[in-house]
Structure 1
Amino acid sequence: MEGREGKLIKYIEGSKTRFIIPVYQRNYDWKEKNCEQLFDDLIKIVRGKRRSHFFGSIVSVHEGSGRNTEYVIIDGQQRVTTISLLFLAMYNLIFKGIIKPIDGSLGIQIYEEFLVDKYQTDAERIKLRPVKDDRVAFEKLFDGDVYEYVRESNLTINYQYFYNRIQKNEITIDELYDAICRLEIINITLSGEDNPQLIFESLNSTGLALSEGDKIRNFILMGLPADLQDDYYTKYWNRIEKFTNYDVTSFLRDYLTIKNGEVCSSKKIYTNFKQYVEDLSLTVEDLFKDLLDYAKRYGVLLNGDNKNDSLYSCIDRLNRLEKSVTRPFFLEVLRLYDEGELSISQVTDIFLITESYLFRRIICDMQTNVLNGMFSNLHREIMRYNDSSCENYLEKFKYVLLSKNGRASFPSNREFKKKFMEKQVYNMTPKNKIYILERFENYKTKECKDVYEKYDKGIYSIEHIMPRELTPAWIKDLGDNYREIHETWLHRIGNLTLTAYNSRYSNKTFKEKKTMENGFEDSGIRMNNYIAKNEKWTSTEIEERSKYLINQAIKIWMLPSSGFEPEKKQVDVYSLIDEDIDFSGKKIKCFSFRNAEYAVTSWIEMFQKVLQILYIEDRSVITKFATSSYFGIASYFSFNKSDFINSVEIYDGIHVNSCTSTERKLFILRNIFKAYDVYFNDLIFYTNKEK
């Protein structure tokens, strides 16, 4: 590896010097603010008469290519690409006669030294070759037809910024060129013995961080020959990006959650992926094929599917509720469909039941932090029944979901109705309250209205039938208890509807809202038909409508029943996140930590084993507790066995107090997990009642 300081233009000048952005690099992603900062710096160079300005480092691999000198850019593509865009904007302004430099040869000098090889064919003349999608946008800028520009591309956006900024004449174009000539870089050229991957990781440990998805793309592609890089990028990676709407990082997190059987930390996606690949014996292409298969399923979860209208609609609703925690489970369900284990009807039922489960929990104000771990393990939990067979998968799914206890439970009809009746629906998040009204409006009709689109465009709004500001006429209609009625019922579901005429309704009387032009009697919104049948609107009518809608809700968000019966008594399954479970009288049979199972005979044995696993992973954390003089969690750990009535050894003479209740042991583990940055739901218990 050779590194030296020098001028940027010396690095990029020369028509026979070409720069290749390899396919494992991310797309160009400098934003307009980055270009603004660069241009401001160039102005400061001129006005401050600075001799030089450091522009960062560029790492490349030199590859001789016959008559040309090619550099594969390992790090620094953002800088090289941005300067090329600036040069192109300068050239086009000069070429079109919009700006006239003092140096009459400046335009042709920029074009032939920094932008093209004039002796090459049109297809090969451009010196910089960005990655696939960027390349198209870059080439369009050279063609000069504004109508053909790829306007959504960052290259086009930044080019236009420079094109417009230069015309402000804050400095002359000759001064701008002179300022660029003063930019200095550290030019690092790798030799054949250097490891580009290790150097790349080191360089990107600081600064503008790559996404985890970017790092993984580089990890897979960087070690391949150039022809395979191009082939696999086009055949697999670029398609994976498109199926995942270019959010590859989120997709890979869910992919690893499936493969490893535990929720993957957002901070450890790249590390966990490398470990996962190293533990496999797959070829790179087999890995890509598997990733692409899951990416296609991920695309269904993001964008829906035309195989079934009910499934498509359900996916759209789940996305609007922003319940991405379900995706690892749904990816496995879609895999079973692809493999012929489930029918499209069964898949649809699973999605609809999951939607009911999630929505009932929203209404009942149940905590959401349990869902991550629950859905990451749900498929495996289903497959535990009856020899891991996919037979009766739907019924097993319903059985498992209905068997959930505590914070993961499926709210009953009674609980759901009670909570819904009392819910201040209007005070819920916008996405949740419009979701509710859309479901009521389009339930059991083939003539569905696009409630979401009309709401998003401001055509529909949510109407309080009894208005938020009571007029004397409304006070009279409500009676002596008008304050209590208004406070109790204003924001509940029985008093809410949809309308396109909210501003006209305002706080008019009920009779006026009902009979006016475009009032409830004329409304094209189905749910307003019920309202129009009433002669008045008091607490009685609001309560009756609430009951009517909630009886519909029981049918829309159904509580399923399961015909599945386990062949034998199964153990109960809990995780460390289940803080509200009483473990008194429950005997632990085994536990699972990070997808590895351990047979144990007691809670003490589990307690000791988990601490031992964590201690081996990082000795410093528990050692710090054992040597601390503070109370709290540290008081349960010591190098002195005699500090406790009963204890068990972790390792290296560190003892932990075992003379505690099961609840206290779990409390200690939760605090230790926090110190180790481990998810609570990574630890799963399998128990049954003590005889």
Structure 2
Amino acid sequence: MKGHEIPLSKYIEGNKMQLIIPVYQRNYDWKKENCDQLFNDLKKLVHSERNHFFGSIVTGVADSIGNNRLVIDGQQRITTISILLLAAIHASEKGEMEISDIYKIDEATEIFLMAKYCASERKYKLVPIERDMEAYDKVFAGDPTKFVTDSKITNNYIHFYELLTKGNRPFTFDELLNAIEKLQIISIELESSDDAQLIFESLNSTGLALTEADKIRNYLLMSLSREEQQEYFKKYWQKIELSTGNEPTMFLRDYLTIIQQLQRPPRINLLYFEWKKYMEERDRKVELAKMLDYAKFYYQATNAQLSTEKLSKKMRQICNIQTDVFNVFFIPFLKYAEDKELSESEIYNVIDLIENFMARRIVCNIPGNALTQVFCALHKDVLKSYEEYKDAGIDCPYRYAEILTYHIMRRDGNYQLPRDTQFIEAIKTRDAYHMPKPFQVFLFERLENAISGEYNDVANQMNKKNASIEHIMPQTLNDEWRQMLGSKYEALKEKYLHTFANLTLTGINSELSNNSFITKRDGKMKSGTKYPGYKDSIYRLTRGVTECNQWTEAELIKRGQEIVDIFMSLYPQPKTEFKPIPKPIDEISLEDETFNPANRLLRGFTLFGQTYTETTWKSMLLRIVNILSDKYPDIVESLYDAGSYFWKTPGDNEQYCTKISNGKYLWTSMDNKNKLRCLRYLFEKCDIAESELTIQLEVQKEQEE
């Protein structure tokens, strides 16, 4: 590796060398504020005798001849200077920028922007990646009617052109060239023995403007030959980007989670480093092919584009929730469904079950922070049940959806599917008006279109703000409303105001919001303009209100029950006949909050894939604390004297504690259920998935019988 300081103009001049942006680089993405900073720096240089450091540019040899260079780092700066020069050249040609000699345009073009003696048919010095090349070439040609309008190259060219020609023109063409002459760079030229990937990582360690997907793409392609880079970029990576809406980072996180069967996705800021660990001794070409296969199912799940319109429509309902938490389930499930040729009805039942699970939890306002672990585990749980039947030599008579139902219904606590009593009560009392917008879109779309027949695209209308949720009994009660509601109007408002019973769908119409019920129902004329009421509504949810002549507690109770009935028809409590194969030893995960350890005999436990043989609950607790103390010393150390179970000075309670080491005690005088709570607290603090710990127990006698 050789590095030296050189003026940028000297670096890019020459009529043989092309600067080639490798396919693994990200698109040109400088923002206007970046361009403004460069422009202001150049203005200062016009009247300065000093040079200005413009960063480093790292290149490698691009061909056997050695003339062309691959730009490993610095494409943003080189591209920006090129489009600034193009803007100045075109402005000078049109007489909108002062220039001392028109021949200077040809000189600048020849020296800085062309490589007319290069071996390529395309003689431009800069060779952007394919997605940027069309925009750059159209800008070079200078015909605005043919510009690629959705490109940062085009937008920044136009921005520079306006800066150069509008208002007080800051430069003459000659002054701009002189300012650019004062830009200094560090040119770093890699030799064949240099590790380009390591150099790239060190230069981009701050992560400026690089997504995790950018880093992973570079990692996968950089070690290949230039010909292979072109081949595998087009054959695989470009298609992966298209499948992920050109934002592949979240897909890559889900892919890594699924392939490694992780209990939870890695953190986004650590994704690149987790990928590097995963890819050790793996063939990058093989991995790209496998990634594209999974990207197909990511596209199906996130865009609701399944094999039939019935399935696509069902998936669209879930997509309205606007969360990616269940992608780690749907990607492997949809792949499995294709591989096993599951029927449309079976796939539909699975999607419907996941929708049921999500809807009940949303209505019951159960926090979603536990869902990641659930969805990481569900598909694996079903396959494990099939495998247990196979190992027992028994044909499994149950369909996928039946087994999935069992694994959803067995979860409790933060992982549960709410049962009917809880669900019905929440439908009646939940503050639906202040739900997150995606939850409202999801639930009100389902309420509106619960009965087959005419369809209203509520989700689209709400997202475009052509429809909104409105209070029937308004938030501000006038005299008419207070009289109709009676003496308990304040209590009724407190109880029902934001509930489903008092909410309906309407077009954007604030004119009637605080009017009397009859006016809201029938509409009114004002200054010759008709303001439609509920009777004119296109929404079935609203039409039902028009049958009422008043809006009191009786009507609220009746409508509340109607909405309960709709939700219960949409989301009945799931049932299954599936029964798992009895095991000689029970294996219980720490994430299973339904488990009661009372009077259960411990046979051992498994943590991080390692099995231990402790047979008392206390010894298991102490062993795990010691394991995690070694693995996460700083975190565990911080827990002592932070309350709960860890103490530095137990004082008079020392008889209830067990000494871990000097000045460190663990509260161990508690029942087994509280020992599990202690472990969950510890796992939470260390950010460990609870499913990493499985506990082996003797089978209970009644189960054996």
Task: Give TM-score scaled by structure 2 length.
Answer: 0.88
Match of 2:164 in 1: 166
CA distance in 2 between counterparts of 1:534 and 1:675 reads 54
> 1:261, CA displacement in angstroms?
1.9
Aligned length, in residue pairs: 679
- 1:406–1:581 contact (8 Å) kept in structure 2: no
1:436 aligns with 2:443: yes
1:558 aligns with 2:572: yes
Match of 2:152 in 1: 154
> 1:439, CA displacement in angstroms?
1.2
Secondary structure of the residue aligned to 1:17 is coil
Amino acid at match of 1:164: E
1:274 aligns with 2:276: yes
Match of 1:58 in 2: 57
1:535 aligns with 2:549: yes
Q: 1:51 and 1:310, CA in 2 relative to 1: closer, same or farther beyond 3 A?
A: same
Match of 2:267 in 1: 265
Match of 1:344 in 2: 344
Q: 1:671 and 1:535, CA in 2 relative to 1: closer, same or farther beyond 3 A?
A: closer
CA distance in 2 between counterparts of 1:595 and 1:322 reads 34
> 1:304, CA displacement in angstroms?
1.3
Match of 1:467 in 2: 474
What per-residue deviation string (whole Å, max 9, x for no partner) do you get for residues 527-555 of structure 1?
22321122221111011101111111011
CA distance in 2 between counterparts of 1:619 and 1:462 reads 51
Secondary structure of the residue aligned to 1:152 is coil
Match of 1:87 in 2: 85
Task: Give TM-score scaled by structure 1 length.
Answer: 0.90
What per-residue deviation string (whole Å, max 9, x for no partner) do you get for residues 583-620 of structure 1?
44455556554566667644455445545654665666
CA distance in 1 between counterparts of 2:132 and 2:339 reads 36
- 1:585–1:690 contact (8 Å) kept in structure 2: no
CA distance in 1 between counterparts of 2:533 and 2:93 reads 63
Moved more, 162-171 or 212-221: 162-171
> 1:89, CA displacement in angstroms?
1.4
CA distance in 2 between counterparts of 1:479 and 1:155 reads 66
Match of 1:96 in 2: 94
Match of 1:509 in 2: 516
Identity of aligned residues (%): 35
Q: 1:663 and 1:37, CA in 2 relative to 1: closer, same or farther beyond 3 A?
A: farther
Give the 5 Å matches for 1:511-526. Answer: 511-516=518-523, 518-526=532-540
Q: Choose which of 390, 410, 413 in structure 2 pairs with 1:403.
A: 410
Moved more, 196-205 or 340-349: 340-349
CA distance in 2 between counterparts of 1:610 and 1:41 reads 58
Secondary structure of the residue aligned to 1:404 is coil
CA distance in 1 between counterparts of 2:493 and 2:256 reads 51
- 1:451–1:460 contact (8 Å) kept in structure 2: yes
Amino acid at match of 1:58: I
- 2:646–2:667 contact (8 Å) kept in structure 1: no
- 2:468–2:506 contact (8 Å) kept in structure 1: yes
- 2:99–2:172 contact (8 Å) kept in structure 1: yes
Secondary structure of the residue aligned to 2:123 is coil
Secondary structure of the residue aligned to 2:315 is helix
Secondary structure of the residue aligned to 1:3 is strand
Q: Choose which of 483, 496, 501 in structure 1 pairs with 2:490.
A: 483
CA distance in 1 between counterparts of 2:643 and 2:478 reads 61
> 1:118, CA displacement in angstroms?
3.5
Q: 1:313 and 1:329, CA in 2 relative to 1: closer, same or farther beyond 3 A?
A: same
Moved more, 22-31 or 221-230: 22-31
CA distance in 1 between counterparts of 2:49 and 2:685 reads 50
Secondary structure of the residue aligned to 2:41 is helix
Q: 1:635 and 1:488, CA in 2 relative to 1: closer, same or farther beyond 3 A?
A: closer
> 1:92, CA displacement in angstroms?
1.9
- 1:421–1:492 contact (8 Å) kept in structure 2: yes
Match of 2:291 in 1: 291
What per-residue deviation string (whole Å, max 9, x for no partner) do you get for residues 51-105 of structure 1?
1111111111134554x72111111111111111211211222233332312432
CA distance in 2 between counterparts of 1:348 and 1:228 reads 41
Q: 1:170 and 1:633, CA in 2 relative to 1: closer, same or farther beyond 3 A?
A: farther
> 1:130, CA displacement in angstroms?
1.4
What per-residue deviation string (whole Å, max 9, x for no partner) do you get for residues 616-657 of structure 1?
6566666x679x89987764799xxx99975679xxx99975
CA distance in 1 between counterparts of 2:696 and 2:28 reads 49
- 1:3–1:188 contact (8 Å) kept in structure 2: yes
- 1:60–1:190 contact (8 Å) kept in structure 2: yes
Amino acid at match of 1:524: I
Match of 1:204 in 2: 204
CA distance in 2 between counterparts of 1:28 and 1:197 reads 20
Amino acid at match of 1:56: G
CA RMSD of aligned residues (A): 3.2
> 1:234, CA displacement in angstroms?
0.3
Structure 1, unaligned runs of 5 or more? none
Match of 2:526 in 1: none
Amino acid at match of 2:41: D
CA distance in 2 between counterparts of 1:75 and 1:409 reads 49
> 1:476, CA displacement in angstroms?
1.8
CA distance in 2 between counterparts of 1:672 and 1:29 reads 43
- 2:646–2:665 contact (8 Å) kept in structure 1: no
Amino acid at match of 1:415: Q
Q: 1:86 and 1:451, CA in 2 relative to 1: closer, same or farther beyond 3 A?
A: same
Amino acid at match of 1:447: E
Q: 1:499 and 1:664, CA in 2 relative to 1: closer, same or farther beyond 3 A?
A: closer
Amino acid at match of 1:115: L
Amino acid at match of 1:54: F
Match of 2:393 in 1: none
Match of 1:223 in 2: 223
> 1:674, CA displacement in angstroms?
5.9
CA distance in 2 between counterparts of 1:430 and 1:631 reads 38
Q: 1:606 and 1:305, CA in 2 relative to 1: closer, same or farther beyond 3 A?
A: farther
CA distance in 1 between counterparts of 2:378 and 2:136 reads 46
Q: Choose which of 125, 138, 141 in structure 1 pairs with 2:139.
A: 141
CA distance in 2 between counterparts of 1:574 and 1:103 reads 83
CA distance in 1 between counterparts of 2:502 and 2:698 reads 47
Q: 1:492 and 1:172, CA in 2 relative to 1: closer, same or farther beyond 3 A?
A: same
CA distance in 1 between counterparts of 2:179 and 2:138 reads 27
> 1:362, CA displacement in angstroms?
1.5
Secondary structure of the residue aligned to 2:326 is helix
Amino acid at match of 2:61: H
What per-residue deviation string (whole Å, max 9, x for no partner) do you get for residues 335-357 of structure 1?
11220252232222212211111
Amino acid at match of 1:276: Y
